[in-house]
Amino acid sequence: MLTAPVLTTNRLILRSFTLEDASDVQRLAGERDVAATTCAIPHPYKDGMAEKWIGSHSKGLKNGSGIVYAITLKDTHESDGPILIGAIDIRIDQAKKLGELGYWVGKPYWGCGYCTEAAKVILSYGFDVLKLRSIHAFYFKQNRASGRVLEKIGMQFEAEYPRAAEKWGVSVDLVKYCIHNKTYNSR
């Protein structure tokens, strides 16, 4: 399986997912409150879904259309390594050199700054290594915690899209934030 380069921060190790992470993904992402914050996470999170999702990562890495990282705690270990707490990814439009940031963190780890810390290192990787021109992200308007993450990493409000997505049969508003390479590198 093709793997992404490992990224580290003061408290985190970002690494490729392995099939051994599947039960933790199902447990963390499958929690209704986590699934409610994203377009892509289903609920209930059925057996086999995590393995299928993890198995899809190498295709994006290989063709340059995206990179998905497991967010793990650096100083906490289970028998098989650092504890998985979430995921962060960047989907890439190679032709336009644009990236779209996405993430989720398990509910027990909310409010600890882990998502902001992971997002900062992903921005650096996107601009400094992948040479992207800009990176944007969307969040459900009612999920202000996600909006605060984007603000903390220097992204700026770009647009609001009323009823642009559907979650569990309900139309939800999306908010878009963006940061450009020149803005990021001048900080």
The one-letter amino acid at 71: I
pLDDT at 3: 86
Residue 131 within any structural domain of the chain? yes
Residue 165 within any structural domain of the chain? no
For 58, the token pair is 């190498």
pLDDT at 2: 74
The one-letter amino acid at 54: I
CATH number, domain containing residue 103: 3.40.630.30
Residue 32 within any structural domain of the chain? yes
- Average pLDDT per consecutive 10 residues, the chain (187 residues; last block may be shorter): 89 96 96 92 94 95 96 77 93 97 97 97 96 97 96 97 92 96 75
Rg (CA), the chain: 16
Domains contained in the chain, number:
1
* Packed helices 144-152 and 114-124: angle between N→C axes, nearest 10 degrees: 50
Nearest partner of 90 among 49, 131, 51, 50, judged by Cα: 131
In sequence order, the 6+-apart residues with CB closer than 8 A to the CB of 47 are 26
Residue 90 within any structural domain of the chain? yes
Residue 53 within any structural domain of the chain? yes
Nearest partner of 106 among 11, 38, 176, 165, judged by Cα: 38
Residue 14 within any structural domain of the chain? yes
Domain that holds residue 81: 7-136
Residue 36 within any structural domain of the chain? yes
Residue 156 within any structural domain of the chain? no
Rounded alpha-carbon distances, angstroms, from residue 75 to 1, 5, 103, 139: 26, 19, 21, 30
pLDDT at 107: 96
37: left (phi over 0), alpha (psi -120 to 50) or beta: alpha
In sequence order, the 6+-apart residues with CB closer than 8 A to the CB of 82 are 13, 72, 73, 74, 75, 76
